[in-house]
Structures are given as structure tokens and as C-alpha cells.
């Protein structure tokens, strides 16, 4: 086993399945399930693409995600150009989140560059870091 060259295909598939579970939890507004996919603790961090833009700890991130997603209706999201690199019990996912939803009757859509760092804890892939950065709006 070589941490730097082996693909760890079964772990990649597990992380991909977790990503789909995360999107489903957002779609169904199941915020408890969404929070359960995060390794909230002293090593968790998040840089989000919505205010506040400073680094967030786990509790702040879970609260803000629930507030942000609660106001969304008809959320549809998918990741494109996904790359999952596994290094034993750590996996890094990079991809483009393409999404659309309705907020207060207004249709919104966007594309966000996303990185998620997962840790395998008790055979569950949990997010320990997220970083989301929107593509600039072209005029």
C-alpha cells in the first residue's frame, strides 16, 4: 500500500456516497443528519462563501448552514469535476458545486469551487474541513 499512488477505490466510492448523502440532507432540510456528517470538534474548520467570511468552528458552521439552507426552497445541487484523493484515513474532495434554488420567491443559481477534507472515524467518512469559493459573476 502506497499512500501517495494507490487510488483506494473502495474508500473513494464511500466518500462519493457520503457526498450524495450530504446533498440529500440539504435537499430534504435534514439538518441533524447533515450535522452528523461533520466531525465537529476542536479540529473542525470551515471557510464558507457566505457571511461571515472568517474561519468558522464546528458549532458556528452547523448553525449557519441550518440557517442558510432553511430559507431555500427547491434546492438542486450536484458536484461536477469531482476529484477524490484518499490518503489512508484522510480523503480530500475537490469539485464544482452547481446549484439552484428559490429564496423568498427569487430564483438563484451558482457555481462554487469546493474542497472538503474527510476523516474516516469508526468507518464513517466525516467532514473535518470545508472551503467554498464562488466563481466570479461575469458581466
* Distance of alpha carbon 66 from alpha carbon 54, whole angstroms: 18
Q: Among all chains, which residue has been given the C-alpha cell 468507518? A: 123
Distance CA 31, CA 26 (A): 7
Per-residue pLDDT of the chain (139 residues; tens, 9 = 90+): 788 888 889 999 999 999 999 999 999 999 999 999 999 999 999 998 777 788 999 999 999 989 888 889 999 999 999 999 999 999 999 999 999 999 999 999 999 999 999 999 999 999 999 999 987 765 4
CA dist 59 and 49 (Å) reads 17
- The three cell numbers locating residue 101: 434554488
Domain boundaries, the chain: 9-133
Rounded Cα gap, residues 56 and 48, in angstroms: 8
Taking residue 117's Cβ as centre, other Cβ atoms within 10 Å add up to 18
Say how far residue 9 (Cα) sits from the centre of its chain: 20
CATH class in words for 9-133? alpha beta
Amino acid at each position: 500500500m502506497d499512500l501517495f499512488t494507490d487510488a483506494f477505490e473502495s474508500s473513494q466510492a464511500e466518500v462519493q456516497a457520503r457526498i450524495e448523502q450530504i446533498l440529500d440532507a440539504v435537499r430534504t432540510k435534514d439538518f441533524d443528519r447533515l450535522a452528523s456528517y461533520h466531525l465537529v470538534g476542536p479540529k473542525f474548520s470551515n471557510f464558507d462563501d457566505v457571511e461571515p467570511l472568517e474561519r468558522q468552528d464546528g458549532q458556528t458552521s452547523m448553525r449557519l448552514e441550518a440557517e442558510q439552507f432553511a430559507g431555500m426552497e427547491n434546492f438542486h445541487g450536484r458536484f461536477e469535476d469531482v476529484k477524490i484523493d484518499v490518503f489512508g484515513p484522510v480523503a480530500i474532495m475537490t469539485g464544482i458545486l452547481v446549484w439552484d434554488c428559490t429564496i423568498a420567491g427569487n430564483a438563484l443559481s451558482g457555481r462554487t469551487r469546493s474542497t472538503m477534507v474527510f476523516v474516516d472515524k469508526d468507518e464513517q467518512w466525516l467532514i473535518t474541513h470545508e472551503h467554498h469559493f464562488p466563481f466570479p459573476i461575469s458581466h
